[in-house]
């Protein structure tokens, strides 16, 4: 492609973006757009597979067989989400093995929320309700992301996530209306997961602890990101407060109150110093999560190598048969 063709193709890219259309894998796109998307989809995929651990932690101890089945299916869905998202990243020329390597060596991140421990059964409810709830608020706009394969993967992911969120709500509802000990377990889980859930939307849009760099602005211009962190966080709070009331549980924020003028809930200061510590690797479970992931990958290396060797042998057999 000569320079003139390339300019024409890039102009076509921009007009698709401007018309709110979808970019497809074979379309010409700026290198920055490709890189941004690969990184975002990979980090999203990493979050799904690391997120299997805190919930996987309770599969063996789920308190009824029905709950055990639901939880197993949920963690399995997360593996499925990881698969779609790595596959979506591969449409842009990335390789799953290389992306996993970036995760395993700490060069790519995953959502910091999964660096918190799941200490009681009620955490399965709180994760479903709050963490999946926050993820949905973050992810619904991605169903309209300008990159087609990502947008389509997100449609399916969001459907399953909303199912998970209802399950989480239902776990907490049962606990909240159960015995005194169960109610206390539910309240304790909400106390621990509320603030980390608010941090899932990332740093504030403006002010001293705003996100550094121009990622957000560029991502908005490219139709990858549609709303700012603070807009999404507010949407989550407004959606969640009435649900907490329905659950009969208290959100641990004395400053939380309805603001008639804004038509939204005001809420207290988020401890972003904690968020930055967790991002830096000093959360309660950062090392544990990554070590577990790396160990599973290393322990399974001989299995993957065997599968490759077997496939190569069978391919050679077919070639030999074809030649004969």
Partner 1 sequence: MSGASAKLSDASRSAAAPSEPDTSALFGYVVALADDALISAQRMGEWIAASPQLEEDVAMGNIALDQLGQARALLTYAGEVEGAGRDEDALAYFRDERDFRNVHLVERDQRSDFGVSMARLLFLSVYQHELYSRLQHSTDETLAAVAAKAVKEVDYHRDHAMMWVLRLGDGTQESHRRMQSGLEAEWPFTEELFDDTHVDAVLVEAGVAVDPGALRDPWHKRVAEVLAQATLALPEVPPAVTGGRRGIHSEQMGYLLAEMQHLARSHPGATW
Under 8 Å between Cβ of 165 and 136? yes
CA angle 189, 289, 159 (to 5 degrees): 65
Q: How far is the CB of 225 from partner 1 (least distance, A)?
A: 26
How far are the Cα atoms of 56, 209, 244 from residue 158, in angstroms, in the given order?
20, 30, 22
Please measure the distance between the N-terminal and C-terminal CA atoms of the chain and give it in whole angstroms: 43
Q: How far is the CB of 320 from partner 1 (least distance, A)?
A: 16
What CA–CA distance (Å, rounded) separates 195 from 203? 13
Q: Which is nearer to partner 1, 100 or 270 (CB)?
A: 100
Q: How far is the CB of 284 from partner 1 (least distance, A)?
A: 18
Q: Which is nearer to partner 1, 29 or 71 (CB)?
A: 71
Interaction site with partner 1 (CB under 8 A): 49, 52-53, 56, 59-69, 72-73, 75-76, 79-80, 82-83, 86, 121, 171, 174-175, 178-179, 181-182, 292, 296-297, 299-311, 313
Q: How far is the CB of 302 from partner 1 (least distance, A)?
A: 5
Q: Which is nearer to partner 1, 14 or 76 (CB)?
A: 76
Half-sphere exposure (Cβ direction) of 275: Cα atoms closer than 13 Å:
19
Nearest partner of 192 among 258, 129, 267, judged by Cα: 129
Query: SS3 sequence, 51-117?
Result: CHHHHHCCHHHCCCHHHHHHHHHHHHHHHHHHHHHHHHHHCCCCCHHHHHHHHHCCCCCCCHHHHCC
Q: How far is the CB of 163 from partner 1 (least distance, A)?
A: 15
Under 8 Å between Cβ of 88 and 38? no
Task: Report CA dihedral (147, 148, 153, 157) to the nearest 10 degrees.
Answer: 70
Under 8 Å between Cβ of 255 and 198? no
Q: How far is the CB of 22 from partner 1 (least distance, A)?
A: 26
Q: Which is nearer to partner 1, 7 or 76 (CB)?
A: 76
Q: How far is the CB of 75 from partner 1 (least distance, A)?
A: 5
3 state SS of 283: coil
Q: Which is nearer to partner 1, 280 or 313 (CB)?
A: 313
Q: Which is nearer to partner 1, 17 or 153 (CB)?
A: 153
Q: Which is nearer to partner 1, 83 or 210 (CB)?
A: 83
């Amino acid at each position: 492609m000569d320079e003139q063709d390339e300019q024409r193709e890039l102009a076509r890219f921009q007009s698709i973006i401007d018309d709110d259309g979808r970019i497809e894998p074979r379309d010409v796109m700026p290198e920055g757009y490709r890189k941004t998307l690969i990184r975002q989809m990979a980090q999203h995929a990493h979050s799904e597979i690391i997120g299997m651990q805190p919930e996987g932690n309770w599969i063996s101890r789920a308190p009824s067989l029905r709950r055990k089945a639901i939880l197993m299916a949920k963690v399995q869905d997360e593996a499925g989400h990881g698969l779609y998202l790595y596959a979506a990243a591969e449409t842009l020329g990335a390789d799953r093995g290389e992306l996993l390597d970036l995760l395993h060596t700490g060069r790519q991140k995953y959502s910091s929320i999964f660096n918190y421990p799941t200490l009681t059964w009620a955490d399965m409810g709180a994760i479903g309700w709050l963490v999946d709830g926050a993820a949905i608020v973050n992810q619904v706009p991605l169903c309209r992301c300008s990159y087609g394969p990502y947008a389509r993967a997100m449609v399916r992911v969001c459907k399953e996530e909303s199912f998970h969120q209802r399950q989480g709500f239902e776990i907490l509802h049962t606990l909240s209306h159960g015995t005194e000990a169960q109610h206390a377990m539910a309240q304790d889980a909400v106390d621990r997961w509320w603030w980390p859930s608010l941090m899932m939307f990332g740093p504030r849009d403006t002010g001293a602890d705003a996100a550094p760099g121009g990622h957000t602005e560029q991502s908005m211009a490219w139709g990858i990101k549609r709303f700012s962190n603070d807009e999404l966080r507010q949407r989550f709070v407004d959606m969640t407060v009435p649900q907490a009331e329905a659950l009969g549980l208290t959100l641990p924020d004395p400053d939380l109150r309805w603001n008639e003028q804004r038509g939204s809930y005001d809420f207290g200061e988020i401890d972003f110093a904690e968020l930055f510590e967790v991002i830096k690797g000093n959360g309660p479970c950062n090392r544990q999560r990554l070590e577990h992931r790396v160990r599973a990958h290393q322990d399974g290396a001989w299995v993957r190598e065997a599968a490759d060797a077997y496939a190569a042998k069978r391919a050679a057999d077919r070639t030999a048969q074809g030649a004969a």
